[in-house]
């Protein structure tokens, strides 16, 4: 069901061969990250050494995982490729669309009612194209992946930023946009800038109240939310071997919070134990045969400064438990110092909720350590002062934790056990105790704590900690509680102290599950009908984009000249629009509504050159589209930065924008424009941005000669009849020009397969 051991054997054969070759070519010992990268080259055996942070390299990942929110557009696009099945093992996980409110049973029922068309679509499309489908309630994507699919030395991509969680089992696992996932599903290579490497040497051993979570809370404090950008963080050293596999997962998971490409750990006994406990002894046996290839070379770890771009050292024995926040995960404060800091900053001391779980911290070890604190509250007659909510990471974890009485302990404290899903971690939380925007504090064991993330309230101060610390803080109801030194008053009026948490790495009676929620796809899905209702508001089958004719690039109108920052959020807003992620026509109604018009400094207020009137960007654009007039968007520096959201390219394309001309692009967005068959261009002379006027018309005079390494010429016709002729650059190679000529990359794939 879950994994294909023959595929893993093939990967392991590749690793041993290609790592030796890579060592020879680079002339140095290798980190684990390099071993995985060099053994997953699209071209096969390594033939050259890549420069970190510079070279763009094509890779061949082993797996893909998609969550329900991002999978919709990814799979709609994949359907365009005309393939019978996905080229690489893929799974879809229904976890983001389930709102936490009354508890698992009722919440799941409601989600199945409100989002059934999305779930039905995902299930049918998975069944048709050979994709494994995990039903709503089966669990959170990253926990399910760790328990079923992750394997040491593997490479995977996923349409979610916390895909990196699988580094806990020795993978290079990277969060990508839907367009990248679609390429790999369709049998194409996946491109990544060869990452820089940050080494984190761990010494000592965790003890007392300190947990794996505190390692990454500390690292986040050191590196900040941007410190890992463009880099893989590789953990090593004796301390790493002392951490459980799921603890490593927690650390890798929150690597996303420091902007890291991913994080990983070398294969060790803890990983072997986890593989065997999750019914994957055959993988452990295979991994044991090539153990040395599944971790960094000894020489690298002995002299890390020579081989990593940056090295950090943390002694686990002296590491203190932390709570990070509010509003940013890198604001790290050791527990015990938080009270003073909170008073100084006027953060509410009273804690309203303690939330445990999410993909970050819902392992058996996490739940058992937190339950050991909850049990003490029961035994010592302490009544929790905050509400408790628990989100188990998977049905397997939930079933096992229930069997072993761990959930029962929380329920004795009045906890609500939410669905095995994201819930409050992604704002899917109908929080009954708060209405409006009152200032309040919550603590949770999740990963992100940005403003509004959990409950939509900008005044909710969310602090991130380990599950056991969250349990202790929730029992005390105070942010300034330090369980290592402070006492609590119980219901009998006695002062009691919480003992240090204890837990079990793995369930002594093994994992158990009745129905794990997995649906295997049909062997032959050709007869499966993909379910999309014609009148659906949330889903719409895609039509292939029609290639832009050269003749259409004469008389192009200016849609908007964007001023300043224009991120993917400005181009395709999130929030309430998330609902329409699978319906291109409907979500297109948010196109560029966040971009600032350079001529009036207003958002969503542009001139319609046909009428002379002003209107919203999507409305004006739809009027041009109705008349068959192509348009151009002009922008500033780093246009399209932010996320890899493909909607930011698909929507303008769908509405009839032919070209985006900017001072510079965020690279992923530029590639997305190319994939959708549009022109992504940059000013050869940045100052030409100032030439663009509100009523301009554009003629692409030499578009018929569009070719690699050759700038294009653009004639700008102003309202007064004056003209400017400028050069515009592009980075299209021959293959990408073919995407443009065919209307999109997917059109080309389909044509080549025909
Ligand atoms: Fe993302 Fe939170 Fe869900 Fe994890 S639990 S996948 S971080 S939303």
Catalytic residue flag (residue 160): yes
Q: Which residues, at least 6 apart from 340, have a Cβ–Cβ distance to it below 8 Å?
A: 480
Cα 172 from Cα 190, distance rounded (Å): 14
CA of 384 from ligand 1 middle (Å) equals 26
DSSP code string of 546-615? PPPPGGGGEEEEEEEEB-S---HHHHB--GGGGGGTB-HHHHGGGBTTTSBBTTT--BS-EE-TTTS-EE
Q: In the prediction, which pLDDT does 452 show?
A: 87
Q: Which residues, at least 6 apart from 290, have a Cβ–Cβ distance to it below 8 Å?
A: 12, 15, 16, 153
Q: Which two tokens stand for residue 596?
A: 């600032």
**Which atom of ligand 1 lies nearest, measured to the CA of 67?**
6
pLDDT tier at 644 (50, 70, 90 boundaries)? confident
User: What share of the chain in percent tops pLDDT 70?
Assistant: 100
Q: Is the ipTM of this complex over 0.95?
A: yes
pLDDT in tens, 59-103: 999 999 999 999 999 999 999 999 999 999 999 999 999 999 999
For residues 286 and 8, the answer to whether their CB atoms sit within 8 Å is: yes
**Which atom of ligand 1 lies nearest, measured to the CA of 391?**
5
Ligand 1: which residue has its CA nearest to atom 3? 422
* pTM as predicted: 0.93
Strands (E), 445-568: 460-464, 488-489, 495-496, 518-519, 554-561
CA of 434 from ligand 1 middle (Å) equals 22
Catalytic residue flag (residue 645): yes
Report, as an integer, the average pLDDT of 149-171: 97
Cα 644 from Cα 649, distance rounded (Å): 10
**Cis geometry, peptide bond prior to residue 326 (ω within 30 degrees of 0):** yes
Catalytic residue flag (residue 280): no
Q: Over 90: is that where the pLDDT of 754 sits?
A: no
Cα 174 from Cα 211, distance rounded (Å): 24
Cα 428 from Cα 634, distance rounded (Å): 36
Which among 40, 63, 93, 96 is annotated as catalytic? 96
CA of 420 from ligand 1 middle (Å) equals 11
Q: Do domains 322-491 and 550-753 have the same CATH topology?
A: no
Cα 708 from Cα 135, distance rounded (Å): 46
pLDDT in tens, 605-614: 999 999 999 9
The helix (run of H) or strand (run of E) holding residue 635 is: strand 631-635
Cα 738 from Cα 185, distance rounded (Å): 20
For residues 421 and 395, the answer to whether their CB atoms sit within 8 Å is: no
Q: Exposed, middle or buried, 12 (CB in 10 Å: 0-12/13-18/19+)?
A: buried
Q: How far is CA 472 from the centre of its chain?
A: 30
Which of 270, 242, 247, 251 has its CA nearest to residue 312?
A: 251
CA atoms within 13 A on the CB side of 163: 28
DSSP code string of 158-210? ESSGGGGGGGGGT-EEEE--HHHHHHHHTT--EEEEPPEEEEEEEES---TT-
CA of 417 from ligand 1 middle (Å) equals 17
CA of 425 from ligand 1 middle (Å) equals 6
CATH code 3.40.50.410 for 322-491: no
Which of 119, 121, 42, 120 has its CA nearest to residue 87?
A: 42
Q: 229 has which bridge partners?
A: 260
Ligand 1: which residue has its CA nearest to atom 4? 359
For residues 30 and 294, the answer to whether their CB atoms sit within 8 Å is: no
Q: Ligand 1: which residues within 6 Å by Cβ?
A: 95, 140-142, 160, 162, 358-359, 422, 425-426, 446-447
**Which atom of ligand 1 lies nearest, measured to the CA of 426?**
8
Report, as an integer, the average pLDDT of 495-511: 98
Sort residue 679 into left (φ over 0), alpha (ψ -120 to 50) or beta. Answer: beta
Which of 264, 265, 261, 267 has its CA nearest to residue 196?
A: 261
**Which atom of ligand 1 lies nearest, measured to the CA of 447?**
7
Q: Over 50: is that where the pLDDT of 404 sits?
A: yes
Pocket test for ligand 1, best of 426, 445, 643 (most atoms within 8 A of CB): 426
Which among 386, 643, 644, 744 is annotated as catalytic? 643
Which among 52, 645, 669, 730 is annotated as catalytic? 645
Q: 63 has which bridge partners?
A: 156
CA of 360 from ligand 1 middle (Å) equals 8
Q: What rounded mean pLDDT belongs to the chain?
A: 96
How many other CB atoms sit within 10 Å of the CB of residue 261? 24
Q: Exposed, middle or buried, 726 (CB in 10 Å: 0-12/13-18/19+)?
A: buried
Cα 217 from Cα 493, distance rounded (Å): 35
Q: In the prediction, which pLDDT does 2 show?
A: 56
Residue ranges per domain, the chain?
A: 5-315, 322-491, 550-753
**Which atom of ligand 1 lies nearest, measured to the CA of 357?**
5
Catalytic residue flag (residue 110): no
Q: How far is CA 181 from the centre of its chain?
A: 12
For residues 454 and 391, the answer to whether their CB atoms sit within 8 Å is: no
With both helix axes pointing from N to C terminus, report the angle between 281-289 and 269-277 in degrees, rounded to the nearest 10. Answer: 150
Report, as an integer, the average pLDDT of 388-417: 97
Cα 238 from Cα 316, distance rounded (Å): 10
Pocket test for ligand 1, best of 142, 390, 418 (most atoms within 8 A of CB): 142
Which of 440, 279, 466, 232 has its CA nearest to residue 353?
A: 440
Helix (H, G, I), strand (E, B) or coil at 440: strand
Q: Over 90: is that where the pLDDT of 579 sits?
A: no
CA of 197 from ligand 1 middle (Å) equals 25
Q: What is the 3-state secondary structure (H, E, C) of 410-424?
A: HHHCCCEECCCCCHH
Ligand 1: which residue has its CA nearest to atom 8? 426
Q: Which two tokens stand for residue 475?
A: 């029992």
Helix (H, G, I), strand (E, B) or coil at 389: strand
How many other CB atoms sit within 10 Å of the CB of residue 383? 12
Q: Over 90: is that where the pLDDT of 729 sits?
A: yes
Catalytic residue flag (residue 96): yes
For residues 483 and 469, the answer to whether their CB atoms sit within 8 Å is: yes
The helix (run of H) or strand (run of E) holding residue 242 is: none
Catalytic residue flag (residue 643): yes
Pocket test for ligand 1, best of 446, 454, 574 (most atoms within 8 A of CB): 446
Q: Over 90: is that where the pLDDT of 456 sits?
A: no
Q: In the prediction, which pLDDT does 1 show?
A: 46
CA of 351 from ligand 1 middle (Å) equals 22
Q: Over 80: is that where the pLDDT of 591 sits?
A: yes
Sort residue 279 into left (φ over 0), alpha (ψ -120 to 50) or beta. Answer: left
Question: Quick one: CATH architecture of 550-753?
Answer: Alpha-Beta Barrel (3.20)
pLDDT tier at 753 (50, 70, 90 boundaries)? confident
Strand order in the sheet with 196-203: 262-265, 231-236, 196-203, 310-315
Which among 68, 160, 455, 480 is annotated as catalytic? 160
Q: Exposed, middle or buried, 466 (CB in 10 Å: 0-12/13-18/19+)?
A: buried
pLDDT tier at 667 (50, 70, 90 boundaries)? confident
Q: Over 50: is that where the pLDDT of 418 sits?
A: yes
Vertex 508: Cα angle to 504 and 512 (nearest 5): 110
The class (CATH top level) of 5-315 is alpha beta
Cα 333 from Cα 327, distance rounded (Å): 13
CA atoms within 13 A on the CB side of 405: 5
Q: 660 has which bridge partners?
A: 633, 680
pLDDT in tens, 460-500: 999 999 999 999 999 999 999 999 999 999 999 999 999 99
Q: How far is CA 561 from the centre of its chain?
A: 30
CA of 427 from ligand 1 middle (Å) equals 10
Cα 720 from Cα 737, distance rounded (Å): 34
**What letters, b where the CB count within 10 A reaches 16 and e where it falls short, cover 500-528?**
ebebebbbeeebebeebbbbebeeebeeb
Strands (E), 188-298: 190-193, 196-203, 231-236, 262-265
CA of 541 from ligand 1 middle (Å) equals 27
**Which atom of ligand 1 lies nearest, measured to the CA of 393?**
5
Cα 451 from Cα 443, distance rounded (Å): 13
Pocket test for ligand 1, best of 96, 97, 140 (most atoms within 8 A of CB): 140
Which among 162, 448, 538, 669 is annotated as catalytic? 448
* Least confident range of 145-149, 220-224, 226-230, 342-346: 226-230
């Amino acid at each position: 069901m879950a994994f294909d051991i023959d595929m893993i054997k093939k990967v392991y054969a590749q690793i041993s061969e290609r790592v030796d070759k890579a060592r020879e070519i680079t002339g140095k010992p290798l980190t684990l990250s390099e071993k995985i990268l060099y053994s997953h080259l699209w071209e096969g055996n390594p033939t050259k050494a890549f420069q970190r942070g510079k070279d763009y390299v094509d890779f061949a990942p082993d797996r893909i995982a998609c969550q329900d929110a991002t999978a919709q557009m990814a799979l709609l696009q994949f359907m365009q490729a005309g393939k019978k099945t996905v080229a690489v093992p893929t799974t879809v996980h229904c976890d983001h669309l389930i709102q936490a409110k009354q508890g698992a049973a009722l919440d799941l029922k409601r989600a199945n009612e409100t989002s059934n068309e999305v779930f039905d679509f995902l299930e049918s499309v998975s069944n048709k194209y050979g994709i494994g489908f995990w039903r709503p309630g089966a669990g959170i994507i990253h926990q399910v992946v760790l328990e079923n699919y992750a394997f040491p030395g593997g490479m995977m991509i996923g349409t979610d930023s916390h895909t990196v969680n699988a580094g806990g089992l020795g993978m290079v696992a990277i969060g990508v946009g839907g367009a990248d996932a679609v390429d790999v599903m369709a049998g194409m290579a996946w491109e990544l800038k060869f990452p820089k490497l940050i080494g984190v040497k761990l010494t000592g051993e965790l003890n007392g109240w300190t947990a794996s979570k505190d390692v990454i809370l500390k690292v986040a404090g050191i590196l900040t939310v941007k410190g890992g950008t463009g880099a893989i963080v590789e953990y090593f050293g004796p301390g790493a071997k002392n951490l459980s596999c799921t603890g490593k997962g927690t650390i890798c998971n929150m690597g996303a919070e420091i902007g890291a490409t991913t994080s990983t750990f070398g294969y060790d006994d803890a990983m072997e134990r986890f593989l065997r406990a999750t019914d994957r002894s055959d993988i452990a046996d295979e991994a044991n045969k090539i153990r040395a290839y599944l971790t960094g070379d000894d020489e690298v770890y002995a002299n890390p400064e020579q081989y990593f771009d940056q090295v950090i050292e943390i002694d686990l024995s002296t590491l203190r438990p932390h709570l990070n926040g509010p509003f940013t995960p890198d604001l790290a404060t050791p527990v015990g110092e938080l009270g003073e800091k909170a008073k100084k900053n006027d953060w509410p001391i009273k804690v309203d909720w303690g939330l445990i779980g999410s993909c970050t911290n819902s392992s058996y070890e996490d739940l058992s350590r937190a339950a050991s604190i909850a049990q003490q509250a029961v035994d010592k007659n302490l009544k929790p002062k905050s509400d408790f909510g628990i989100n188990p990471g998977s049905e397997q974890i939930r079933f096992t934790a229930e069997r072993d009485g761990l959930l029962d302990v929380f329920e004795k404290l009045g906890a609500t056990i939410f669905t095995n899903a994201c819930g409050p971690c992604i704002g899917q939380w109908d929080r009954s105790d708060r209405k409006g925007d009152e200032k309040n504090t919550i603590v949770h064991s999740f990963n992100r704590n940005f403003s509004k993330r959990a409950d939509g309230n900008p005044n909710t101060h969310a602090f991130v900690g380990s599950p056991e610390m969250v349990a202790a803080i929730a029992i005390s109801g105070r942010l300034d509680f330090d369980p290592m030194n402070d006492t609590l008053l119980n219901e009998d009026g006695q002062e009691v102290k919480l003992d240090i948490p204890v837990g079990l790495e793995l369930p002594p009676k093994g994992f158990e599950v009745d129905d794990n929620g997995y649906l295997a796809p049909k062997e032959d899905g050709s007869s499966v009908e993909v379910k999309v209702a014609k009148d659906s508001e949330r889903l719409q089958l895609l039509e292939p984009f029609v290639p832009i004719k050269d003749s259409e690039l004469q008389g192009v109108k200016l849609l908007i000249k964007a001023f300043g920052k224009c991120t993917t959020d400005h181009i395709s807003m999130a929030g309430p629009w998330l609902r329409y992620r699978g319906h291109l026509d409907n979500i297109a109604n948010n196109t560029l509504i966040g971009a600032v018009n350079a001529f009036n400094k207003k958002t969503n207020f542009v001139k319609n050159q046909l009428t002379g009137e002003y209107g919203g960007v999507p409305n004006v654009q739809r009027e041009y589209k109705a008349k068959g007039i192509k348009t151009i968007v002009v922008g500033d520096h780093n246009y399209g930065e932010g996320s890899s959201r493909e909607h930011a390219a698909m929507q303008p394309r769908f509405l009839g924008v032919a070209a985006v001309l900017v001072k510079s692009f965020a690279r992923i967005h530029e590639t997305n424009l190319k994939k959708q068959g549009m022109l992504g261009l940059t000013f050869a002379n940045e100052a030409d941005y100032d030439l663009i006027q509100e009523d301009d018309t554009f003629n692409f005079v030499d578009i018929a000669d569009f070719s690699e390494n050759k700038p294009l010429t653009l004639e700008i016709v102003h309202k007064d009849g004056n003209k400017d002729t400028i050069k515009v650059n592009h980075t299209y190679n021959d293959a990408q020009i073919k995407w443009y000529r065919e209307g999109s990359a997917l059109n080309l794939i389909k044509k080549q397969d025909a």
